[in-house]
Amino acid sequence: MSLLSSTPAATPAGVPSAGVPAGDAPAAQAPAAPPPVTDERWRAALHAVLRRPELLALHAQPIAELTTGAVAGYEALSRFDGSRITAAPDRWFAAAEHWGVNAELQSRVLGLGLLMRSALPADTFLTVNVDPHLLTDERVSGVLLEQADLSRLVLELTEHTLAQDPVQLTAVLDALRSRGAMIAMDDAGTGYAGLSQLLALRPDIVKLDRELISGIDADPVRRALAEVLGDLVGRMDGWVLAEGIETTGELDAVVSLGLALGQGWALARPSSQLLTDLDDAVVGRIRAGAGRHRFTEAVISIVRDTRTGSDPAACEVLLGDDGRVRAVRWGGTSPQDPVRWSPALVVAPSASLPEVARRAATRHASDVTAPLVCTDGQGAVVGIVTHADLLLALARSS
């Protein structure tokens, strides 16, 4: 006999959140912690960056369509290579704010982003981060407003609160949109001001924060929140972008929810080059998941892979010597949830959700919440269906 385990694959050590730019491979040894932003060394380092253009560069991380796997756009990520201080970009901008040169630094980044547009592949866009309170500063807005054409540029507003003068900010945003720019709202799903920002900004793209995406494949509440935000943004004629996708389980989850765009290490890492295509395996996974999502009335739409990703059922599928499915091992997620074996209930990918629910309800009371096993026409295991996913799918379909 053999076992197909659904134990989640561990995230490689040292892999950071996709929202935090890093090198092409994790460093073997962590660098020394940067000094506090109030340290005088920051002032010297910032002025060096502003004097020497070669110390500031933009890398690009692809943003993928979650139906086809095609590259839809890129996020421009600031890199401060060659400086005496090694720190993440957010520390650099925090220090720039403290030392009063944030407007100059962000205007420099925007200028590089505008130049990068000329190298973009056809039908792609570029997102560049900017603090809303600086958009009302002429040193920042001037870099943008002197351009007659801002098409294919997405300004990603990075603060959790709006500028001090919302009227002036709205006027600047209207002027930028009139030139073809789009607006993205960062870190949706975190912070108390998120809904008021959505109403005030009416962004073209809403980015779901890594905090919401992390573990979304194993957390029904995260899935539900992402689904609600996706529906809300869709009603506002916007796109949802799930950022910080770091595991194949998280990728499968956001694809199954029908979210439009995705970004993260599970898709592609940041690079100094504009990558035009994702890895073939990633593209195939996205297309397969999107295909399952289209069959929203069939059980295939909620099947979880038994070989990768996180699964709250911690399920193992027991095969007989003839290769046929015999039983499932599940539970054990908490001291109150013992590990147990249950006879396998096998369902076809095309089976309807109500039909599967009726069959599941006829099982013995001790097995009624056990995962179901989905197999193809040759009896090969496609994946499992959890009791919770089945109930949620039935609620959505009704």
The whole-number average pLDDT for the span 333-339 is 78
On whether residue 1 sits in a domain, the answer given is no
| CATH assignment at residue 85 | 3.20.20.450
Q: pLDDT per residue over 124-170, tens digit each?
A: 999 999 999 999 999 999 999 999 999 999 999 987 656 678 889 99
On whether residue 58 sits in a domain, the answer given is yes
Q: Are residues 208 and 110 in the same domain?
A: yes
User: Out of 26-30, 163-167, 302-306, which region has the weakest mean confidence (pLDDT)?
Assistant: 26-30
Sheet containing strand 346-347, strands side by side: 346-347, 372-375, 381-385
Q: pLDDT per residue over 193-221, tens digit each?
A: 567 778 778 899 999 989 999 999 999 89
Q: Are residues 283 and 358 in the same domain?
A: no
Question: In this predicted model, which residue has the larger pLDDT, 305 or 223?
Answer: 223
* Predicted confidence band of residue 30 (pLDDT cuts 50, 70, 90): low
Q: Is the pLDDT of residue 360 over 80?
A: yes
Q: Are residues 311 and 274 in the same domain?
A: no
User: What are the two backbone dihedrals, phi and then psi, of residue 2, each rounded to the nearest 5 degrees?
Assistant: -135, 160
| Distance of alpha carbon 168 from alpha carbon 315, whole angstroms | 55
Q: Are residues 74 and 157 in the same domain?
A: yes
Sheet containing strand 340-343, strands side by side: 2-5, 316-319, 325-330, 340-343
Q: pLDDT per residue over 79-112, tens digit each?
A: 998 888 999 999 999 999 999 999 999 999 999 9
Q: Is the pLDDT of residue 310 over 50?
A: no
Amino acid residing at 222: R
Q: Are residues 145 and 72 in the same domain?
A: yes
On whether residue 73 sits in a domain, the answer given is yes
Q: pLDDT per residue over 39-94, tens digit each?
A: 999 999 999 999 999 999 999 999 999 989 999 999 999 999 888 899 999 999 99
Q: Is residue 54 classed as helix, strand or coil in its secondary structure?
A: helix
Q: Is residue 227 classed as helix, strand or coil in its secondary structure?
A: helix
Q: Are residues 276 and 367 in the same domain?
A: no
Question: In this predicted model, which residue has the larger pLDDT, 379 or 310?
Answer: 379
Triad 373, 378, 381: Cα angle to 5°: 30
Q: Are residues 127 and 156 in the same domain?
A: yes
| Mean per-residue pLDDT of the chain | 84
On whether residue 263 sits in a domain, the answer given is yes
* Predicted confidence band of residue 294 (pLDDT cuts 50, 70, 90): low
| CATH assignment at residue 362 | 3.10.580.10
Name the domain boundary from 294, 325, 353. 294
Name the domain boundary from 252, 277, 294. 294
* Predicted confidence band of residue 3 (pLDDT cuts 50, 70, 90): very low
Q: Are residues 365 and 288 in the same domain?
A: no
User: What are the two backbone dihedrals, phi and then psi, of residue 286, each rounded to the nearest 5 degrees?
Assistant: -60, -45
On whether residue 36 sits in a domain, the answer given is yes
For 263-333, where are the alpha helices, taking DSSP H only?
280-294
On whether residue 5 sits in a domain, the answer given is no
CB 193 within 8 A of CB 227: no
Q: Is the pLDDT of residue 312 over 50?
A: no
Q: Are residues 372 and 239 in the same domain?
A: no
| Distance of alpha carbon 195 from alpha carbon 161, whole angstroms | 11
CB 300 within 8 A of CB 384: no
Q: Are residues 369 and 324 in the same domain?
A: yes
Residues found in the chain: 398
User: What are the two backbone dihedrals, phi and then psi, of residue 157, each rounded to the nearest 5 degrees?
Assistant: -80, 120
Which residue in this structure is represented by tokens 């994790």?
26
Range of the domain at 205: 31-294
Task: Calculate the dihedral angle through the C-alpha atoms of 113, 119, 122, 128, rounding to the nearest 10 degrees.
Answer: -10
* Predicted confidence band of residue 23 (pLDDT cuts 50, 70, 90): very low
Q: What percent of the chain has pLDDT over 90?
A: 50
Q: Is the pLDDT of residue 7 over 60?
A: no
On whether residue 157 sits in a domain, the answer given is yes
Count of domains observed in the chain: 2
Q: What is the predicted pLDDT for the residue at 307? A: 54
Q: Is the pLDDT of residue 395 over 70?
A: yes
DSSP assignment, residue 326? E
CB 260 within 8 A of CB 239: yes
* Predicted confidence band of residue 373 (pLDDT cuts 50, 70, 90): very high
Query: Residue 261: which residues within 8 A CB-CB, separation 6 or more?
Result: 63, 64, 65, 66, 72, 73, 205, 239, 240, 241, 242
On whether residue 40 sits in a domain, the answer given is yes
Question: In this predicted model, which residue has the larger pLDDT, 345 or 8?
Answer: 345
The whole-number average pLDDT for the span 322-340 is 83
What is the pTM for the complete model shown? Answer: 0.70
Q: Are residues 307 and 286 in the same domain?
A: no
Q: Are residues 205 and 253 in the same domain?
A: yes
Name the domain boundary from 237, 272, 294. 294
Amino acid residing at 328: V
Phi-psi region of 47 (alpha: psi -120 to 50; beta: other; left: phi over 0): alpha
Q: pLDDT per residue over 280-292, tens digit each?
A: 999 999 998 887 7
Q: What is the predicted pLDDT for the residue at 160? A: 60
Per-residue CA distances from 189 to 72, 154, 203, 213, 392 (Å): 23, 20, 14, 10, 21
Task: Calculate the dihedral angle through the C-alpha atoms of 303, 278, 12, 58, rounding to the nearest 10 degrees.
Answer: -140
